[in-house]
Amino acid sequence: MRGGQASNNLVKMRAQHAFARENRRHASSLVVCAGTGKFVVGGNWKCNGTKDSIDKLCASLNSGKITADVEVICAPPMVYIDRVQSKLKAPYQIAAQNCWVSKGGAFTGEVSAEMLKDANIPWVILGHSERRSLCGETNEFVGLKTKYALDTGVKVVACIGESLAQREAGDTLNVCFAQLKAIVDCVTEKDWENIIIAYEPVWAIGTGKVATPDQAQEVHAGVRKWMSENVSPDVASKVRIQYGGSVNAGNCDELATKPDIDGFLVGGASLDGEAFVKICNSAAHSK
């Protein structure tokens, strides 16, 4: 416990120092572009839950009042998706947390995009940092998966984000751009209508260490500028860029005020119905 706490504190301290350095470097270069898409909040339930806890979560989500200004996407564990689909009411949409890179077949343990389509699952999260780091998914693999899912008719939440070491080395934007480029290389300009970008700094995921609104805004604006230059200004203004990494009911409103933050991808706090509803309703603070 204590060791875990100490190493968590160390991660936080290192992230703070890296921020301070980057902020000095970029202080005068914060680019504000502003997205025009509808605010969108995703709940990534990851590998959590039981039938019982998931039923309770669905009941709690259904009892919340969600503003009309937000699109909401919940991503339960695959084995519970059918159950959640039968319980969650509008406006909640469903996403899978992953799918295979091509047509199904002899791929033990995988789920194909065709299956998602067949099961009426409209969205899939691809390229989450946990899959990149734990399952060895490369930028290119995520690009191919994104294209295959889109061609099959499943919309994609595509995750990007730097590790602490990459941030400390001043590589944040380059890492994000390389991850995006691998997707851009696979998809058409039109495909971007069905892609949400989720910027999730790895050091902020599940650590309780959230990027400050300015730090998140800086990367979001950089990503949008890169999209403008490398895809098109039209796509750049329309594509929604979510922030993810320790978003909770207490920090969402301030993050939502940033012009290039078009929503959130929420892990831990999405398992608490009341907190998640509050995060969805932070759309009211969006500019």
Catalytic positions, written as ranges: 128, 200
Point out which span in 10-18, 55-63, 106-114, 240-248 binds ligand PGA (CB under 6 A): 240-248
Q: Is 263 in the site for ligand PGA (CB under 6 A)?
A: no
Residue among 246, 251, 281, 286 that touches ligand PGA (CB under 6 A): 246
| 36: Cα separation from own chain's centroid | 18
Rounded to a whole number of angstroms, the minimum distance from the CB of residue 4 to ligand PGA is 16
Write the binding mask 33 to 52 for ligand PGA: x where contact by CB under 6 A, - elsewhere: -----------x--------
Smaller CB separation from ligand PGA, 44 or 112 = 44
Tell me how far CA of residue 152 lies from CA of 42, 138, 147, in angstroms. Answer: 21, 21, 9
The answer to the question of residue 268 lying near ligand PGA (CB under 6 A) is yes
Instruction: Kindly state whether residue 97 participates in binding ligand PGA, applying the rule CB under 6 A.
Output: no
8 Å CB contact between 280 and 262 = no
SS3 sequence of the chain = CHHHHHHHHHHHHHHHHHHHHHHHHHCCCCCCCCCCCCEEEEEECCCCCCHHHHHHHHHHHHHCCCCCCEEEEEECCHHHHHHHHHHCCCCEEEEECCCCCCCCCCCCCCCCHHHHHHCCCCEEEECCHHHHHHHCCCHHHHHHHHHHHHHHCCEEEEEECCCHHHHHCCCHHHHHHHHHHHHHCCCCCHHHHHEEEEECCHHHCCCCCCCCHHHHHHHHHHHHHHHHHHCCHHHHHHCEEEEECCCCCCCHHHHHCCCCCCEEEECHHHHCHHHHHHHHHHHHHCC
Q: Does 265 bind ligand PGA (CB under 6 A)?
A: yes
* 244 scored as a contact of ligand PGA (CB under 6 A): yes
Does 15 participate in binding ligand PGA (rule CB under 6 A)? no
Residue 201 makes contact with ligand PGA by CB under 6 A: no
Residue of 157, 266, 277, 283 interacting with ligand PGA (CB under 6 A):
266
Does position 250 bind ligand PGA by CB under 6 A? no
Assess 200 for contact with ligand PGA (CB under 6 A): yes
Work out how close the CB of 46 gets to ligand PGA at its nearest, in angstroms, rounded to a whole number. Answer: 7
Stretch of 55-63, 133-141, 176-184, 238-246 contacting ligand PGA, by CB under 6 A: 238-246
Nearer to ligand PGA, 183 or 198 (CB): 198
If the CB atoms of residues 96 and 247 are measured against ligand PGA, the closer one turns out to be 247
By CB under 6 A, name the binding residues for ligand PGA.
44, 200, 205-206, 244-247, 265-269
